[in-house]
């Protein structure tokens, strides 16, 4: 029995799902892309461009579908879904690689001394509760004194001593100190990476300060070559006509400001302190010799120049 015709018809039936190329197509199922490394047939390209492009597209799509149907699947409400493998094509980065982060002052010191960095756990064991609690944040261990219902008060504390307020202020002070150190580290890192830019900003800031030091806010000053216009600097004038209440408030505010400035510059002497500077007076009266020399001269017990002369005269 001759079955060659049956095999030929069967092969012709599934010929549309096979892709035969001199160089196999590069199929990346992870990105759903197909790359054809074969050279272009110039004859078919010039003869019928549209048909040639459709043939290439058909071969690529057929190869992609064949690779997808060979992947493992999983069921879903919408039907079976193919599990895509990791991509094999390396794509270029859209942005440059991040620059190495400069070391902080502590990191540089630790590297020089060989100190190993240890990451502190977010949880801390509480002996009273016998459980793990947060070290920071909500219900943190650092807020234990602020939230506990009874707190020990020192013996020398004032009558209005509030231990919760003291603990809260100390915690906020630590937070502010850490933020200040972070800002200093950032500024130090910027200065180390680009000192010229930092110097330029300092010069611009100094120049802007000198510009607004005049009464006209630098409006009539001579401009330098390439100097940018300072924005947001305007002189504010109070209205010439005011209500009586506004003028009284302005006068009271001015007097209170003057009084506060005078208190800062002038310090009242304490009760136990004397108005007279005793040390300076003794130094002036003894002509720089000190209090002991002044005491000997006042009591006459010291050996003066005249005493030495009388002794020499007696011997003669």
CA distance 75 to 81: 6
Contact predicate 73/82, CB 8 Å:
yes
CA distance 101 to 112: 17
Per-residue model confidence (pLDDT) at position 316? 41
Per-residue model confidence (pLDDT) at position 135? 83
Per-residue model confidence (pLDDT) at position 306? 46
Contact predicate 90/28, CB 8 Å:
no
Q: For residue 131, what are the β-bridge partners? A: 126
Residues 6+ apart with CB under 8 A from 18: 62
Residue 100 DSSP code: P
The number of angstroms, rounded, from the C-alpha of 273 to the middle of its chain's C-alpha atoms is 48
Per-residue model confidence (pLDDT) at position 177? 92
Residues 6+ apart with CB under 8 A from 87: 28, 30, 31
**Per-block average pLDDT, block size 10, for the chain (316 residues)?**
67 66 87 90 87 88 89 89 89 85 81 84 82 81 78 82 85 89 81 77 81 73 72 68 85 83 58 65 77 75 49 44
Q: Sort strands 26-28 and 73-74 into parallel, antiparallel or unpaired.
A: unpaired
Closest CA to 224 of 209, 207, 212: 207
Per-residue model confidence (pLDDT) at position 231? 67
CA distance 211 to 222: 10
How far apart, in Å, are the Cα atoms of 14 and each of 8, 18, 57, 63, 239? Answer: 10, 7, 18, 14, 93
Closest CA to 25 of 72, 71, 58, 70: 58
Residue 29 DSSP code: T
């Amino acid at each position: 029995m001759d079955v060659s015709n049956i095999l030929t018809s069967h092969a012709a039936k599934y010929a549309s799902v096979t892709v035969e190329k001199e160089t196999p197509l590069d199929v990346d199922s992870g990105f759903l892309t197909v790359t054809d490394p074969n050279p272009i047939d110039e004859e078919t390209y010039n003869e019928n461009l549209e048909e040639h492009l459709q043939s290439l597209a058909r071969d690529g799509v057929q190869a992609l579908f064949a690779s997808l149907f060979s992947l493992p699947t999983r069921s879903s409400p919408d039907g079976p879904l193919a599990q895509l493998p990791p991509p094999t094509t390396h794509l270029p980065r859209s942005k440059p690689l991040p620059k190495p982060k400069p070391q902080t002052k502590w990191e540089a010191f630790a590297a020089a001394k060989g100190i190993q960095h240890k990451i502190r756990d977010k949880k801390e064991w509480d002996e009273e509760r016998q459980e793990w609690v947060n070290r920071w944040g909500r219900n943190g261990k650092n807020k234990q004194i602020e939230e506990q219902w009874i707190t020990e008060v020192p013996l020398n504390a004032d009558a209005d001593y509030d231990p919760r307020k003291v603990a809260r202020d100390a915690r906020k002070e630590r937070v502010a100190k850490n933020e200040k150190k972070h800002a200093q580290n950032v500024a130090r890192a910027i200065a180390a990476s680009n000192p010229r830019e930092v110097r330029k900003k300092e010069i611009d800031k100094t120049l802007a300060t000198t510009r607004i030091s005049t009464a006209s806010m630098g409006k009539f000053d001579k401009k330098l070559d390439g100097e940018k216009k300072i924005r947001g600097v305007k002189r504010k004038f109070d209205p010439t006509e005011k209500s009586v209440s506004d003028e009284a408030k302005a006068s009271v505010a001015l007097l209170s400001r003057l009084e506060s400035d005078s208190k800062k510059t002038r310090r009242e002497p304490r009760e136990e302190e004397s108005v007279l500077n005793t040390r300076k007076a003794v130094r002036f009266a003894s002509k720089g010799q000190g209090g002991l020399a002044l005491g000997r001269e006042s009591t006459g017990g010291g050996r003066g120049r005249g005493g030495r002369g009388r002794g020499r005269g007696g011997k003669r």
